[in-house]
Amino acid sequence: MKKIFIFSFLVLLIFLSRCSNSPEPSKVNCSNPDSINPNGTSELSLLMRQMHSKAVEMKNLIEIGKKPGDEPVDFANIASATPTDSKTKKPSFSGFAQNYLSALEAVYKSEPENIKLKYNEMVNACLSCHGDHCPGPVPKIKKLMIKN
């Protein structure tokens, strides 16, 4: 009797853990400031999370007067990465993406005395695309700005 009880308990546990892992339709909520979404893993949202962590790393280094680490090479596919919702990318998207990539490159090409300015211009490039395409994360992105 006891064994059966333990067995059913285990089955229940496995069942429950499977349930909580079951993939909900992944949705980045572009109107929600906390849009980090435990289930949402579109190609574009994963890329965005990497871009965000990289920007945090760059900010921390620049603020203490260091070079912003290695230049990321794998952000070039923003234009082709699939968003959560296929309607998210408007015709203006690739222009904004290109603008961001140039701004990113400019940070790495910058003279040390201009680097904060160049970095903030890059954050502005994030913000201009977000203002038009995905306003939810805007407050989070604003925190990346380096204040003087």
* 124 scored as a contact of ligand HEC (CB under 6 A): no
Site string for ligand HEC, 36-75 (x = CB under 6 A): xx--x-x-xx--xx-xx--x--------------------
CB of 44 closer than 8 Å to CB of 77: no
Amino acid residing at 126: C
Rounded distance between C-alpha atoms, residue 17 and residue 20, angstroms:
5
Angle ∠(9,25,41) on CA atoms, nearest 5: 100
Q: What is the spatial distance between Cα 17 and Cα 136, in angstroms, rounded to a whole number? A: 30
- What tokens appear for 90 in the block? 């408007």
Min. distance of Cβ 13 from ligand HEC in angstroms?
Answer: 30
Nearest residue (CB) to ligand HEC, 7 versus 71: 71
Q: Is 117 in the site for ligand HEC (CB under 6 A)?
A: no
Contact residues for ligand HEC (CB under 6 A)? Answer: 28, 30, 35-37, 40, 42, 44-45, 48-49, 51-52, 55, 78, 83-85, 88, 93, 96-97, 100, 125-126, 129-130, 133-134, 137, 140-141, 144
